[in-house]
Structure 1
Amino acid sequence: MSTPPETLYARTDAALGTFSVRPLDPFADAELLHGWVTHPKAAFWMMQDATLPDVEREYMRIAAAEHHHAFIGLHEGRPAFLMESYDPSEVELVGLYESRPGDVGMHFLVAPTDSPVSGFTRAVITTVMSCLFADPATQRVVVEPDVRNTAVHALNEAVGFVADGPVRKPEKEALLSFCTRAQFEAATI
Protein backbone atom coordinates (compact mmCIF):
# COMPACT_ATOMS: atom_id res chain seq x y z
CA MET A 1 0.00 0.00 0.00
CA SER A 2 1.44 3.40 -0.94
CA THR A 3 1.61 6.26 1.52
CA PRO A 4 -0.49 9.30 0.71
CA PRO A 5 1.52 12.40 -0.28
CA GLU A 6 2.37 14.69 2.60
CA THR A 7 0.15 17.66 3.36
CA LEU A 8 2.18 20.85 3.16
CA TYR A 9 -0.52 23.25 4.28
CA ALA A 10 -4.15 23.13 5.44
CA ARG A 11 -6.80 25.64 6.42
CA THR A 12 -10.45 25.42 7.33
CA ASP A 13 -12.95 27.68 5.62
CA ALA A 14 -15.89 28.39 7.95
CA ALA A 15 -18.45 27.80 5.19
CA LEU A 16 -16.78 25.24 2.93
CA GLY A 17 -14.60 23.02 5.12
CA THR A 18 -11.01 21.89 4.84
CA PHE A 19 -8.65 22.90 2.05
CA SER A 20 -5.13 21.51 1.89
CA VAL A 21 -2.10 21.52 -0.39
CA ARG A 22 0.22 18.63 -1.24
CA PRO A 23 3.14 18.19 -3.62
CA LEU A 24 2.18 17.42 -7.22
CA ASP A 25 3.37 14.10 -8.64
CA PRO A 26 3.94 14.63 -12.40
CA PHE A 27 3.16 10.99 -13.20
CA ALA A 28 0.41 10.12 -10.73
CA ASP A 29 -1.39 13.45 -11.25
CA ALA A 30 -0.93 13.83 -15.03
CA GLU A 31 -4.27 12.34 -16.08
CA LEU A 32 -6.17 14.46 -13.54
CA LEU A 33 -4.29 17.60 -14.63
CA HIS A 34 -4.82 16.83 -18.28
CA GLY A 35 -8.59 16.93 -17.74
CA TRP A 36 -8.29 20.24 -15.91
CA VAL A 37 -5.88 22.15 -18.19
CA THR A 38 -7.59 21.12 -21.45
CA HIS A 39 -11.11 21.94 -20.24
CA PRO A 40 -12.73 24.93 -22.03
CA LYS A 41 -12.94 26.82 -18.69
CA ALA A 42 -9.13 26.68 -18.49
CA ALA A 43 -8.58 28.63 -21.72
CA PHE A 44 -6.28 31.15 -19.99
CA TRP A 45 -4.03 28.27 -18.85
CA MET A 46 -3.01 28.01 -22.53
CA MET A 47 -2.85 24.18 -22.65
CA GLN A 48 -6.10 23.50 -24.51
CA ASP A 49 -4.46 21.27 -27.11
CA ALA A 50 -2.05 19.50 -24.75
CA THR A 51 -1.85 15.73 -24.89
CA LEU A 52 -1.39 13.60 -21.76
CA PRO A 53 2.36 13.24 -22.51
CA ASP A 54 2.56 17.05 -22.96
CA VAL A 55 1.10 17.53 -19.47
CA GLU A 56 3.45 14.93 -17.98
CA ARG A 57 6.45 16.65 -19.62
CA GLU A 58 5.39 20.12 -18.45
CA TYR A 59 4.94 19.05 -14.84
CA MET A 60 8.14 16.96 -14.91
CA ARG A 61 9.91 20.13 -16.09
CA ILE A 62 8.38 22.10 -13.20
CA ALA A 63 9.23 19.32 -10.71
CA ALA A 64 12.86 19.50 -11.83
CA ALA A 65 13.00 23.31 -11.76
CA GLU A 66 14.77 25.11 -8.96
CA HIS A 67 12.57 28.22 -9.08
CA HIS A 68 9.13 26.84 -10.02
CA HIS A 69 6.93 24.45 -7.98
CA ALA A 70 3.54 22.81 -8.52
CA PHE A 71 1.03 21.51 -5.98
CA ILE A 72 -2.35 19.84 -5.91
CA GLY A 73 -4.97 21.52 -3.75
CA LEU A 74 -7.59 19.41 -2.06
CA HIS A 75 -11.03 20.17 -0.74
CA GLU A 76 -12.16 17.74 1.94
CA GLY A 77 -9.38 15.41 0.78
CA ARG A 78 -10.31 15.37 -2.92
CA PRO A 79 -8.23 17.07 -5.66
CA ALA A 80 -9.86 20.41 -6.44
CA PHE A 81 -7.22 22.87 -7.68
CA LEU A 82 -3.74 23.31 -9.06
CA MET A 83 -1.32 25.76 -7.47
CA GLU A 84 2.05 26.90 -8.75
CA SER A 85 4.60 29.13 -7.07
CA TYR A 86 7.72 30.55 -8.65
CA ASP A 87 10.51 33.04 -8.18
CA PRO A 88 9.50 35.89 -10.53
CA SER A 89 13.08 37.19 -10.67
CA GLU A 90 14.15 33.84 -12.19
CA VAL A 91 11.14 32.69 -14.27
CA GLU A 92 8.00 34.18 -15.84
CA LEU A 93 8.75 37.85 -15.14
CA VAL A 94 12.51 38.16 -15.56
CA GLY A 95 13.29 41.72 -16.63
CA LEU A 96 9.62 42.74 -16.77
CA TYR A 97 9.37 44.39 -13.35
CA GLU A 98 11.56 45.44 -10.45
CA SER A 99 11.64 42.38 -8.20
CA ARG A 100 12.08 42.62 -4.44
CA PRO A 101 13.41 40.13 -1.91
CA GLY A 102 10.47 38.05 -0.70
CA ASP A 103 8.51 38.20 -3.98
CA VAL A 104 6.73 34.96 -4.89
CA GLY A 105 4.88 34.43 -8.15
CA MET A 106 1.66 32.44 -8.17
CA HIS A 107 -0.72 30.68 -10.57
CA PHE A 108 -3.84 28.74 -9.61
CA LEU A 109 -6.47 26.77 -11.50
CA VAL A 110 -9.72 25.49 -10.02
CA ALA A 111 -10.82 22.10 -11.31
CA PRO A 112 -13.81 22.25 -13.67
CA THR A 113 -17.11 21.13 -12.18
CA ASP A 114 -20.68 20.60 -13.30
CA SER A 115 -21.96 21.72 -9.90
CA PRO A 116 -20.25 24.97 -8.86
CA VAL A 117 -20.38 25.95 -5.19
CA SER A 118 -20.84 29.62 -4.30
CA GLY A 119 -17.65 31.10 -2.85
CA PHE A 120 -15.52 28.09 -3.77
CA THR A 121 -13.03 29.85 -6.05
CA ARG A 122 -12.56 32.64 -3.52
CA ALA A 123 -11.89 30.02 -0.83
CA VAL A 124 -9.32 28.43 -3.15
CA ILE A 125 -7.42 31.67 -3.81
CA THR A 126 -7.56 32.47 -0.09
CA THR A 127 -6.05 29.05 0.62
CA VAL A 128 -3.34 29.58 -2.01
CA MET A 129 -2.44 32.99 -0.60
CA SER A 130 -2.52 31.74 3.02
CA CYS A 131 -0.23 28.89 2.01
CA LEU A 132 2.25 31.27 0.35
CA PHE A 133 2.22 33.70 3.28
CA ALA A 134 2.68 30.81 5.75
CA ASP A 135 6.32 31.04 4.68
CA PRO A 136 7.75 33.99 6.65
CA ALA A 137 10.14 34.72 3.75
CA THR A 138 7.19 35.62 1.50
CA GLN A 139 6.68 39.38 1.59
CA ARG A 140 4.68 39.95 -1.58
CA VAL A 141 2.80 37.75 -4.05
CA VAL A 142 3.09 38.64 -7.73
CA VAL A 143 0.63 37.56 -10.43
CA GLU A 144 0.51 38.10 -14.17
CA PRO A 145 -2.88 36.92 -15.47
CA ASP A 146 -4.01 37.63 -19.01
CA VAL A 147 -5.42 41.17 -19.25
CA ARG A 148 -8.66 39.68 -20.66
CA ASN A 149 -9.23 37.42 -17.65
CA THR A 150 -11.55 39.80 -15.81
CA ALA A 151 -12.92 37.06 -13.52
CA VAL A 152 -9.48 36.40 -12.02
CA HIS A 153 -8.76 40.14 -11.76
CA ALA A 154 -11.86 40.49 -9.54
CA LEU A 155 -10.78 37.52 -7.41
CA ASN A 156 -7.27 38.92 -7.09
CA GLU A 157 -8.64 42.27 -5.99
CA ALA A 158 -10.92 40.55 -3.44
CA VAL A 159 -7.89 39.07 -1.65
CA GLY A 160 -5.84 42.28 -1.69
CA PHE A 161 -4.03 42.46 -5.03
CA VAL A 162 -3.42 45.88 -6.55
CA ALA A 163 -2.91 46.08 -10.31
CA ASP A 164 0.32 47.70 -11.42
CA GLY A 165 -0.39 47.71 -15.14
CA PRO A 166 0.01 45.60 -18.23
CA VAL A 167 3.27 43.88 -19.16
CA ARG A 168 4.00 42.17 -22.46
CA LYS A 169 5.05 38.55 -22.11
CA PRO A 170 5.90 36.33 -25.08
CA GLU A 171 2.62 34.40 -24.77
CA LYS A 172 0.22 37.15 -23.63
CA GLU A 173 -0.40 40.66 -22.43
CA ALA A 174 -0.57 40.30 -18.66
CA LEU A 175 -1.92 42.46 -15.84
CA LEU A 176 0.94 42.62 -13.36
CA SER A 177 -0.49 42.80 -9.83
CA PHE A 178 0.96 42.67 -6.32
CA CYS A 179 -0.32 41.74 -2.88
CA THR A 180 1.63 42.25 0.32
CA ARG A 181 0.98 40.26 3.47
CA ALA A 182 -0.70 43.34 5.04
CA GLN A 183 -2.95 43.84 1.99
CA PHE A 184 -3.97 40.17 2.06
CA GLU A 185 -4.72 40.25 5.79
CA ALA A 186 -6.73 43.49 5.46
CA ALA A 187 -8.80 42.03 2.59
CA THR A 188 -9.53 38.67 4.19
CA ILE A 189 -10.13 39.50 7.86
Structure 2
Amino acid sequence: MSNTHHGTTADTLFTRTDPVLGEFAVRPLDLTRDIELLHGWVTHPKASFWMMQDASLADVEREYRSIDANEHHDAYIGLHNGTPAFLMERYDPAHVELVGLYEPRSGDVGMHFLTAPSDTPVHGFTKAVITTVMAMLFDDPATARVVVEPDVHNKAVHALNEAVGFEIVRQIAKPEKDAYLSTCTREQYLAAIGVTTR
Protein backbone atom coordinates (compact mmCIF):
# COMPACT_ATOMS: atom_id res chain seq x y z
CA MET A 1 0.00 0.00 0.00
CA SER A 2 1.33 3.43 -0.92
CA ASN A 3 1.30 6.31 1.53
CA THR A 4 2.05 8.95 -1.04
CA HIS A 5 -1.55 10.09 -1.49
CA HIS A 6 -1.37 12.05 1.76
CA GLY A 7 2.21 13.16 1.51
CA THR A 8 4.00 11.00 4.04
CA THR A 9 6.69 8.73 2.71
CA ALA A 10 9.14 6.33 4.29
CA ASP A 11 11.70 9.10 4.82
CA THR A 12 9.31 11.35 6.78
CA LEU A 13 10.78 12.20 10.17
CA PHE A 14 7.92 14.17 11.67
CA THR A 15 4.30 15.01 10.85
CA ARG A 16 1.86 17.47 12.35
CA THR A 17 -1.73 18.11 11.38
CA ASP A 18 -2.75 21.75 11.51
CA PRO A 19 -6.46 22.12 12.33
CA VAL A 20 -6.93 24.65 9.53
CA LEU A 21 -4.22 24.03 6.95
CA GLY A 22 -3.86 20.24 6.96
CA GLU A 23 -0.80 18.06 7.09
CA PHE A 24 2.77 19.24 7.55
CA ALA A 25 5.65 16.79 7.34
CA VAL A 26 9.44 17.03 7.52
CA ARG A 27 11.96 14.84 5.71
CA PRO A 28 15.75 15.00 5.26
CA LEU A 29 17.02 17.24 2.48
CA ASP A 30 18.04 15.14 -0.53
CA LEU A 31 20.34 17.25 -2.70
CA THR A 32 20.01 15.06 -5.77
CA ARG A 33 16.26 15.55 -5.76
CA ASP A 34 15.90 18.95 -4.07
CA ILE A 35 18.76 21.15 -5.29
CA GLU A 36 16.89 23.03 -8.04
CA LEU A 37 13.89 23.60 -5.81
CA LEU A 38 16.16 24.77 -2.99
CA HIS A 39 18.10 27.10 -5.31
CA GLY A 40 14.82 28.72 -6.41
CA TRP A 41 13.78 29.28 -2.81
CA VAL A 42 17.01 30.70 -1.36
CA THR A 43 17.68 33.06 -4.29
CA HIS A 44 14.12 34.42 -4.42
CA PRO A 45 13.75 38.14 -3.53
CA LYS A 46 11.51 37.17 -0.57
CA ALA A 47 14.42 35.19 0.89
CA SER A 48 16.69 38.25 1.18
CA PHE A 49 17.49 37.50 4.84
CA TRP A 50 18.88 34.11 3.73
CA MET A 51 21.72 36.10 2.10
CA MET A 52 22.04 33.83 -0.95
CA GLN A 53 20.38 36.11 -3.52
CA ASP A 54 23.18 35.83 -6.07
CA ALA A 55 24.12 32.21 -5.39
CA SER A 56 24.49 29.86 -8.35
CA LEU A 57 23.13 26.32 -8.30
CA ALA A 58 26.69 25.14 -7.57
CA ASP A 59 27.01 27.63 -4.68
CA VAL A 60 23.80 26.36 -3.08
CA GLU A 61 24.84 22.76 -3.59
CA ARG A 62 28.25 23.46 -2.01
CA GLU A 63 26.63 25.17 1.00
CA TYR A 64 24.19 22.32 1.63
CA ARG A 65 26.82 19.61 1.05
CA SER A 66 28.88 21.27 3.78
CA ILE A 67 25.83 21.27 6.08
CA ASP A 68 25.26 17.60 5.24
CA ALA A 69 28.87 16.84 6.18
CA ASN A 70 28.68 18.78 9.46
CA GLU A 71 27.74 16.60 12.43
CA HIS A 72 26.34 19.69 14.21
CA HIS A 73 24.05 20.91 11.39
CA ASP A 74 21.14 19.26 9.52
CA ALA A 75 18.84 20.43 6.74
CA TYR A 76 15.30 19.27 6.00
CA ILE A 77 12.52 19.83 3.50
CA GLY A 78 9.08 20.55 4.93
CA LEU A 79 5.98 19.43 3.08
CA HIS A 80 2.48 20.85 3.18
CA ASN A 81 -0.13 18.28 2.14
CA GLY A 82 2.65 16.41 0.35
CA THR A 83 4.15 19.35 -1.56
CA PRO A 84 7.58 20.80 -0.63
CA ALA A 85 6.80 24.09 1.09
CA PHE A 86 9.62 25.03 3.45
CA LEU A 87 13.25 24.54 4.35
CA MET A 88 14.30 23.85 7.92
CA GLU A 89 17.76 23.69 9.46
CA ARG A 90 18.62 22.38 12.90
CA TYR A 91 22.03 23.06 14.41
CA ASP A 92 23.97 22.86 17.65
CA PRO A 93 24.56 26.52 18.60
CA ALA A 94 27.57 25.58 20.73
CA HIS A 95 29.32 24.56 17.48
CA VAL A 96 27.54 26.45 14.66
CA GLU A 97 26.33 30.06 14.18
CA LEU A 98 26.69 31.23 17.79
CA VAL A 99 30.11 30.02 18.89
CA GLY A 100 31.51 32.54 21.37
CA LEU A 101 28.41 34.75 21.11
CA TYR A 102 26.35 33.29 23.93
CA GLU A 103 26.54 30.81 26.83
CA PRO A 104 25.35 27.44 25.53
CA ARG A 105 23.26 25.26 27.81
CA SER A 106 22.69 21.54 27.68
CA GLY A 107 19.61 20.88 25.54
CA ASP A 108 20.02 23.97 23.35
CA VAL A 109 19.10 23.58 19.68
CA GLY A 110 19.36 26.25 16.97
CA MET A 111 17.10 26.51 13.94
CA HIS A 112 16.50 28.38 10.71
CA PHE A 113 13.43 28.10 8.52
CA LEU A 114 12.41 29.48 5.15
CA THR A 115 8.98 29.21 3.57
CA ALA A 116 8.82 28.67 -0.16
CA PRO A 117 7.87 31.74 -2.20
CA SER A 118 4.22 31.73 -3.23
CA ASP A 119 2.11 33.76 -5.63
CA THR A 120 -0.94 32.98 -3.51
CA PRO A 121 -0.03 33.47 0.15
CA VAL A 122 -2.18 31.47 2.58
CA HIS A 123 -3.24 33.28 5.76
CA GLY A 124 -1.51 31.77 8.78
CA PHE A 125 0.79 29.59 6.69
CA THR A 126 4.14 30.85 7.98
CA LYS A 127 2.93 30.60 11.58
CA ALA A 128 1.88 27.00 10.88
CA VAL A 129 5.37 26.35 9.47
CA ILE A 130 7.25 27.76 12.47
CA THR A 131 4.88 25.87 14.79
CA THR A 132 5.70 22.65 12.91
CA VAL A 133 9.44 23.39 13.14
CA MET A 134 9.19 24.02 16.89
CA ALA A 135 6.98 20.97 17.43
CA MET A 136 9.56 18.82 15.65
CA LEU A 137 12.45 20.23 17.69
CA PHE A 138 10.61 19.73 20.99
CA ASP A 139 9.49 16.26 19.88
CA ASP A 140 13.06 15.29 20.81
CA PRO A 141 13.05 14.91 24.61
CA ALA A 142 16.69 16.11 24.68
CA THR A 143 15.66 19.58 23.44
CA ALA A 144 15.22 21.98 26.37
CA ARG A 145 15.49 25.31 24.58
CA VAL A 146 15.52 26.62 21.01
CA VAL A 147 17.99 29.42 20.25
CA VAL A 148 17.76 31.65 17.15
CA GLU A 149 19.62 34.65 15.75
CA PRO A 150 17.39 36.49 13.26
CA ASP A 151 18.53 39.68 11.55
CA VAL A 152 17.46 42.73 13.59
CA HIS A 153 15.66 44.08 10.49
CA ASN A 154 13.58 40.92 9.90
CA LYS A 155 10.41 42.22 11.55
CA ALA A 156 8.18 39.47 10.15
CA VAL A 157 10.27 36.77 11.81
CA HIS A 158 10.44 38.64 15.13
CA ALA A 159 6.63 38.62 15.24
CA LEU A 160 6.47 34.91 14.35
CA ASN A 161 9.14 34.06 16.92
CA GLU A 162 7.21 35.93 19.59
CA ALA A 163 4.03 34.07 18.62
CA VAL A 164 5.62 30.70 19.41
CA GLY A 165 7.23 31.82 22.67
CA PHE A 166 10.63 33.33 21.87
CA GLU A 167 12.04 36.13 23.98
CA ILE A 168 14.78 38.43 22.71
CA VAL A 169 17.79 38.15 25.03
CA ARG A 170 19.99 40.81 23.45
CA GLN A 171 21.37 42.15 20.19
CA ILE A 172 24.55 40.45 18.97
CA ALA A 173 26.98 41.29 16.18
CA LYS A 174 27.59 38.39 13.81
CA PRO A 175 30.08 38.64 10.93
CA GLU A 176 27.25 38.81 8.37
CA LYS A 177 24.53 40.70 10.30
CA ASP A 178 23.34 42.28 13.52
CA ALA A 179 20.99 39.79 15.11
CA TYR A 180 18.62 39.41 18.04
CA LEU A 181 19.72 36.44 20.11
CA SER A 182 16.39 34.93 21.14
CA THR A 183 15.48 31.86 23.15
CA CYS A 184 12.38 29.75 23.73
CA THR A 185 12.14 27.04 26.36
CA ARG A 186 9.79 24.09 26.06
CA GLU A 187 7.54 25.73 28.69
CA GLN A 188 7.47 29.05 26.83
CA TYR A 189 6.58 27.25 23.58
CA LEU A 190 3.78 25.23 25.17
CA ALA A 191 2.36 28.34 26.86
CA ALA A 192 2.49 30.27 23.56
CA ILE A 193 0.58 27.60 21.64
CA GLY A 194 -1.96 27.31 24.46
CA VAL A 195 -0.97 23.97 25.97
CA THR A 196 -1.18 24.08 29.75
CA THR A 197 1.52 22.08 31.47
CA ARG A 198 0.00 22.10 34.95
Shared fold (TM-score, shorter chain, > 0.5): yes
- Per the TM alignment, residue 71 of structure 1 is displaced from its structure 2 partner at its CA by 0.1
Question: Structure 1, residues 20-52: CA drift from partner, whole Å, max 9, x if none?
Answer: 000001222110000000000000000000000
| % identical aligned pairs | 71
Q: Which amino acid aligns with 2:105?
A: R
Q: Which amino acid aligns with 2:92?
A: D
Q: Which amino acid aligns with 1:40?
A: P
Counterparts of 1:165 and 1:114, CA distance in 2: 35
- In structure 2, the partner of 1:129 is 134
Q: TM-score, normalised by structure 1?
A: 0.97
Aligned positions of 1:2-13 closer than 5 A: 6-13=11-18
Aligned positions of 1:96-175 closer than 5 A: 96-175=101-180
Q: TM-score, normalised by structure 2?
A: 0.93
Counterparts of 1:27 and 1:14, CA distance in 2: 33
Confirm whether residue 53 of structure 1 aligns to residue 68 of structure 2. Answer: no
The alignment of Structure 1 onto Structure 2 pairs a total of residues equal to 187
Question: Structure 1, residues 107-166: CA drift from partner, whole Å, max 9, x if none?
Answer: 000000000000000000000000000000000000000000011000000000000011
Contact 1:27–1:56 (CA under 8 A) maintained in structure 2: no
What do you get for the CA RMSD once the two structures are aligned? Answer: 1.0
Secondary structure of the corresponding residue to residue 102 of structure 2:
coil
- Could you tell me which runs of 5 or more consecutive residues in structure 2 were left unpaired when the two chains were aligned: none
Q: Which of 88, 91, 100 in structure 2 is aligned with 1:86?
A: 91
Contact 1:166–1:175 (CA under 8 A) maintained in structure 2: yes
Contact 1:5–1:22 (CA under 8 A) maintained in structure 2: no
Q: Which of 191, 195, 198 in structure 2 is aligned with 1:186?
A: 191
Stretch deviating more after TM superposition (23-32 or 127-136): 23-32
